[in-house]
Amino acid sequence: MSLKGKVAIVTGGTRGIGRAIALELARNGADVAFSYAKNVEKAKEVEGEIKKLGVKALAMQSDVANFNQSKEMVNNAIKELGRIDLLVNNAGITRDKILMMMSEEDWKAVIDTNLSGVFNCSKAAVVPMMKQRSGSIINITSVSGLVGMAGQTNYSSSKAGIIGFTKALAKEVARRGVRVNAVAPGFIETEMVQALDQKYIDEMLKLIPLGRVGKAEEVARVVAFLASDDASYITGHVINVDGGMVM
Protein backbone atom coordinates (compact mmCIF):
# COMPACT_ATOMS: atom_id res chain seq x y z
CA MET A 1 0.00 0.00 0.00
CA SER A 2 2.84 2.36 -0.86
CA LEU A 3 2.17 6.06 -1.42
CA LYS A 4 5.80 6.86 -2.10
CA GLY A 5 6.22 9.75 -4.51
CA LYS A 6 2.67 10.99 -3.98
CA VAL A 7 1.66 14.35 -2.52
CA ALA A 8 -1.36 14.61 -0.23
CA ILE A 9 -3.37 17.48 1.20
CA VAL A 10 -5.35 16.82 4.38
CA THR A 11 -7.71 19.54 5.60
CA GLY A 12 -8.08 19.90 9.35
CA GLY A 13 -4.92 17.91 9.96
CA THR A 14 -3.89 18.86 13.48
CA ARG A 15 -6.32 16.91 15.67
CA GLY A 16 -8.23 13.65 15.92
CA ILE A 17 -9.02 11.88 12.69
CA GLY A 18 -7.29 14.48 10.51
CA ARG A 19 -4.02 14.15 12.39
CA ALA A 20 -4.21 10.37 12.26
CA ILE A 21 -4.80 10.51 8.50
CA ALA A 22 -1.90 12.89 7.88
CA LEU A 23 0.47 10.63 9.83
CA GLU A 24 -0.79 7.43 8.22
CA LEU A 25 -0.31 8.82 4.71
CA ALA A 26 3.20 9.90 5.70
CA ARG A 27 3.99 6.43 7.09
CA ASN A 28 3.07 5.04 3.70
CA GLY A 29 5.50 7.38 1.97
CA ALA A 30 3.44 10.40 0.90
CA ASP A 31 4.59 13.98 1.30
CA VAL A 32 1.83 15.65 3.29
CA ALA A 33 0.48 19.19 3.32
CA PHE A 34 -2.26 19.88 5.82
CA SER A 35 -4.44 22.81 6.75
CA TYR A 36 -5.30 24.15 10.16
CA ALA A 37 -7.56 26.92 11.38
CA LYS A 38 -5.90 28.63 14.35
CA ASN A 39 -3.53 26.57 16.51
CA VAL A 40 -0.07 27.36 15.14
CA GLU A 41 1.73 25.50 17.92
CA LYS A 42 -0.22 22.30 17.25
CA ALA A 43 0.38 22.64 13.52
CA LYS A 44 4.13 22.88 14.06
CA GLU A 45 3.99 19.81 16.28
CA VAL A 46 2.21 17.72 13.62
CA GLU A 47 4.53 19.08 10.91
CA GLY A 48 7.48 17.87 12.97
CA GLU A 49 5.90 14.43 13.49
CA ILE A 50 5.43 14.03 9.74
CA LYS A 51 9.00 15.06 8.95
CA LYS A 52 10.32 12.48 11.43
CA LEU A 53 8.73 9.83 9.18
CA GLY A 54 11.15 10.79 6.40
CA VAL A 55 8.82 12.71 4.12
CA LYS A 56 8.09 16.36 3.41
CA ALA A 57 5.51 18.25 5.46
CA LEU A 58 3.78 21.57 4.97
CA ALA A 59 1.42 23.22 7.45
CA MET A 60 -0.93 25.81 5.93
CA GLN A 61 -3.28 28.07 7.86
CA SER A 62 -6.52 28.27 5.91
CA ASP A 63 -10.28 28.47 6.35
CA VAL A 64 -11.85 25.81 4.10
CA ALA A 65 -15.15 27.72 4.22
CA ASN A 66 -13.45 30.52 2.28
CA PHE A 67 -13.30 29.81 -1.47
CA ASN A 68 -10.26 31.97 -2.20
CA GLN A 69 -8.27 30.73 0.80
CA SER A 70 -8.97 27.13 -0.22
CA LYS A 71 -7.76 27.79 -3.76
CA GLU A 72 -4.63 29.50 -2.44
CA MET A 73 -3.97 26.59 -0.06
CA VAL A 74 -4.09 24.01 -2.85
CA ASN A 75 -1.97 26.15 -5.17
CA ASN A 76 0.59 26.71 -2.41
CA ALA A 77 0.86 22.97 -1.73
CA ILE A 78 1.45 22.32 -5.43
CA LYS A 79 4.06 25.09 -5.58
CA GLU A 80 5.95 23.83 -2.52
CA LEU A 81 5.62 20.06 -3.04
CA GLY A 82 5.48 19.86 -6.82
CA ARG A 83 2.06 18.29 -7.50
CA ILE A 84 -1.11 16.98 -5.87
CA ASP A 85 -2.17 13.34 -5.97
CA LEU A 86 -4.44 13.03 -2.94
CA LEU A 87 -6.96 15.32 -1.29
CA VAL A 88 -8.58 14.32 1.99
CA ASN A 89 -11.46 16.64 2.87
CA ASN A 90 -11.57 16.15 6.62
CA ALA A 91 -12.08 19.61 8.15
CA GLY A 92 -15.39 19.90 9.96
CA ILE A 93 -17.19 21.44 12.92
CA THR A 94 -20.27 20.75 15.02
CA ARG A 95 -22.78 23.11 16.59
CA ASP A 96 -25.31 20.68 17.98
CA LYS A 97 -28.76 21.90 18.99
CA ILE A 98 -32.31 20.75 18.39
CA LEU A 99 -33.78 22.58 15.41
CA MET A 100 -36.09 24.84 17.43
CA MET A 101 -33.04 26.14 19.34
CA MET A 102 -30.67 26.31 16.34
CA SER A 103 -29.78 29.76 15.06
CA GLU A 104 -29.19 30.66 11.44
CA GLU A 105 -25.54 31.17 12.35
CA ASP A 106 -25.32 27.64 13.80
CA TRP A 107 -26.75 26.24 10.57
CA LYS A 108 -24.64 28.34 8.23
CA ALA A 109 -21.33 27.81 10.04
CA VAL A 110 -21.62 24.02 9.86
CA ILE A 111 -22.82 23.92 6.23
CA ASP A 112 -20.15 26.42 5.12
CA THR A 113 -17.29 24.52 6.74
CA ASN A 114 -18.37 20.90 6.32
CA LEU A 115 -20.07 20.94 2.92
CA SER A 116 -18.97 24.11 1.13
CA GLY A 117 -15.43 23.38 2.36
CA VAL A 118 -15.48 20.12 0.42
CA PHE A 119 -16.63 21.99 -2.69
CA ASN A 120 -14.02 24.73 -2.28
CA CYS A 121 -11.05 22.39 -1.85
CA SER A 122 -12.18 19.82 -4.41
CA LYS A 123 -12.76 22.46 -7.08
CA ALA A 124 -9.22 23.74 -6.58
CA ALA A 125 -7.65 20.27 -6.62
CA VAL A 126 -9.62 18.50 -9.32
CA VAL A 127 -8.30 20.53 -12.27
CA PRO A 128 -4.60 19.66 -11.77
CA MET A 129 -5.61 16.06 -11.05
CA MET A 130 -7.55 15.86 -14.32
CA LYS A 131 -4.65 17.41 -16.24
CA GLN A 132 -2.26 14.75 -14.96
CA ARG A 133 -5.00 12.10 -15.44
CA SER A 134 -4.59 10.72 -11.95
CA GLY A 135 -5.67 11.54 -8.43
CA SER A 136 -7.81 10.53 -5.51
CA ILE A 137 -10.22 12.62 -3.47
CA ILE A 138 -11.44 11.16 -0.18
CA ASN A 139 -14.20 12.93 1.71
CA ILE A 140 -14.75 12.33 5.42
CA THR A 141 -18.49 12.11 5.99
CA SER A 142 -20.19 10.47 9.00
CA VAL A 143 -22.76 7.87 9.99
CA SER A 144 -24.77 10.96 10.98
CA GLY A 145 -25.11 11.68 7.27
CA LEU A 146 -26.45 8.18 6.65
CA VAL A 147 -29.05 7.84 9.41
CA GLY A 148 -29.40 11.32 10.92
CA MET A 149 -28.84 12.18 14.55
CA ALA A 150 -31.21 14.14 16.78
CA GLY A 151 -29.76 17.52 17.63
CA GLN A 152 -27.63 17.48 14.48
CA THR A 153 -29.85 18.66 11.64
CA ASN A 154 -27.05 20.95 10.46
CA TYR A 155 -24.28 18.38 10.83
CA SER A 156 -26.33 15.48 9.42
CA SER A 157 -27.34 17.62 6.44
CA SER A 158 -23.74 18.61 5.74
CA LYS A 159 -22.51 15.02 5.95
CA ALA A 160 -25.36 13.67 3.82
CA GLY A 161 -24.54 16.37 1.26
CA ILE A 162 -20.94 15.17 1.16
CA ILE A 163 -22.17 11.69 0.19
CA GLY A 164 -24.15 13.08 -2.75
CA PHE A 165 -21.22 15.29 -3.73
CA THR A 166 -18.88 12.28 -3.68
CA LYS A 167 -21.04 10.18 -5.99
CA ALA A 168 -21.72 13.01 -8.43
CA LEU A 169 -18.09 14.10 -8.71
CA ALA A 170 -16.92 10.49 -9.05
CA LYS A 171 -19.06 10.19 -12.18
CA GLU A 172 -17.76 13.48 -13.58
CA VAL A 173 -14.04 12.76 -13.34
CA ALA A 174 -13.67 8.97 -13.61
CA ARG A 175 -12.72 9.07 -17.31
CA ARG A 176 -9.85 11.42 -16.44
CA GLY A 177 -8.37 8.89 -14.02
CA VAL A 178 -9.53 10.63 -10.85
CA ARG A 179 -11.27 8.60 -8.15
CA VAL A 180 -13.62 10.06 -5.52
CA ASN A 181 -14.70 8.13 -2.42
CA ALA A 182 -15.94 8.83 1.09
CA VAL A 183 -15.34 7.36 4.53
CA ALA A 184 -18.07 7.48 7.17
CA PRO A 185 -16.67 7.18 10.70
CA GLY A 186 -18.95 6.20 13.53
CA PHE A 187 -18.25 6.70 17.24
CA ILE A 188 -14.50 7.42 17.21
CA GLU A 189 -12.25 8.19 20.17
CA THR A 190 -11.44 11.86 19.74
CA GLU A 191 -11.25 14.88 22.06
CA MET A 192 -14.93 15.53 21.39
CA VAL A 193 -15.95 12.00 22.44
CA GLN A 194 -13.67 12.04 25.48
CA ALA A 195 -15.51 15.13 26.74
CA LEU A 196 -18.91 13.37 26.66
CA ASP A 197 -20.73 12.13 29.74
CA GLN A 198 -19.96 8.47 30.44
CA LYS A 199 -23.67 7.61 30.58
CA TYR A 200 -24.08 8.87 27.00
CA ILE A 201 -21.03 6.89 25.89
CA ASP A 202 -22.47 3.74 27.49
CA GLU A 203 -25.76 4.25 25.64
CA MET A 204 -23.95 4.71 22.34
CA LEU A 205 -21.92 1.54 22.88
CA LYS A 206 -25.18 -0.42 23.03
CA LEU A 207 -25.76 0.55 19.38
CA ILE A 208 -22.36 -0.74 18.23
CA PRO A 209 -22.18 -4.52 17.55
CA LEU A 210 -18.41 -4.59 18.11
CA GLY A 211 -19.05 -3.07 21.52
CA ARG A 212 -16.33 -0.43 21.59
CA VAL A 213 -15.38 3.04 20.47
CA GLY A 214 -13.29 3.16 17.30
CA LYS A 215 -9.83 4.66 17.00
CA ALA A 216 -8.80 7.49 14.69
CA GLU A 217 -6.02 5.27 13.35
CA GLU A 218 -8.60 2.73 12.17
CA VAL A 219 -10.25 5.42 10.06
CA ALA A 220 -6.85 6.58 8.80
CA ARG A 221 -5.89 3.13 7.54
CA VAL A 222 -9.05 2.95 5.42
CA VAL A 223 -8.27 6.37 3.97
CA ALA A 224 -4.71 5.26 3.15
CA PHE A 225 -6.08 2.20 1.36
CA LEU A 226 -8.48 4.29 -0.73
CA ALA A 227 -5.63 6.67 -1.54
CA SER A 228 -3.39 3.86 -2.77
CA ASP A 229 -3.22 2.05 -6.09
CA ASP A 230 -4.58 -1.02 -4.27
CA ALA A 231 -7.96 0.72 -4.52
CA SER A 232 -7.53 1.67 -8.18
CA TYR A 233 -10.90 0.17 -9.20
CA ILE A 234 -12.93 1.77 -6.41
CA THR A 235 -14.75 5.05 -6.96
CA GLY A 236 -18.03 6.60 -5.87
CA HIS A 237 -18.25 4.52 -2.70
CA VAL A 238 -18.87 5.28 0.97
CA ILE A 239 -17.06 3.00 3.42
CA ASN A 240 -18.39 2.91 6.97
CA VAL A 241 -15.84 2.63 9.78
CA ASP A 242 -18.32 2.28 12.62
CA GLY A 243 -18.06 -1.12 14.30
CA GLY A 244 -21.30 -2.18 12.62
CA MET A 245 -23.32 0.74 14.00
CA VAL A 246 -25.00 1.34 10.64
CA MET A 247 -25.82 -1.71 8.55
Catalytic residue among 36, 155, 200, 233: 155
**Whole-structure pTM value:** 0.96
Query: Does residue 1 sit within a domain?
Result: no
Question: What mean pLDDT, rounded, does the chain reach?
Answer: 96
Query: Does residue 201 sit within a domain?
Result: yes
Query: Does residue 78 sit within a domain?
Result: yes
In the residue annotation, 155 being an active-site residue is answered as: yes
Query: Does residue 246 sit within a domain?
Result: no
* Structural domain count, the chain: 1
Query: Does residue 2 sit within a domain?
Result: no
Query: Does residue 73 sit within a domain?
Result: yes
Domain of residue 68: give its range: 7-241
The answer to whether residue 70 scores a pLDDT higher than 90 is yes
HEC per residue, the chain: CCCCCCEEEECCCCCHHHHHHHHHHHHCCCEEEEEECCCHHHHHHHHHHHHCCCCCEEEEECCCCCHHHHHHHHHHHHHHHCCCCEEEECCCCCCCECHHHCCHHHHHHHHHHHHHHHHHHHHHHHHHHHHHCCEEEEEECCCHHHHCCCCEHHHHHHHHHHHHHHHHHHHHHHHHCEEEEEEEECCEECHHHHCCCHHHHHHHHCCCCCCCCEEHHHHHHHHHHHHCHHHCCCCCCEEEECCCCCC
Query: Does residue 247 sit within a domain?
Result: no
pLDDT digits (tens, 9 = 90+) for 82-131: 999 999 999 999 999 999 999 999 999 999 999 999 999 999 999 999 99
Check which CATH number belongs to the domain holding 77 and give it: 3.40.50.720
Query: Does residue 218 sit within a domain?
Result: yes
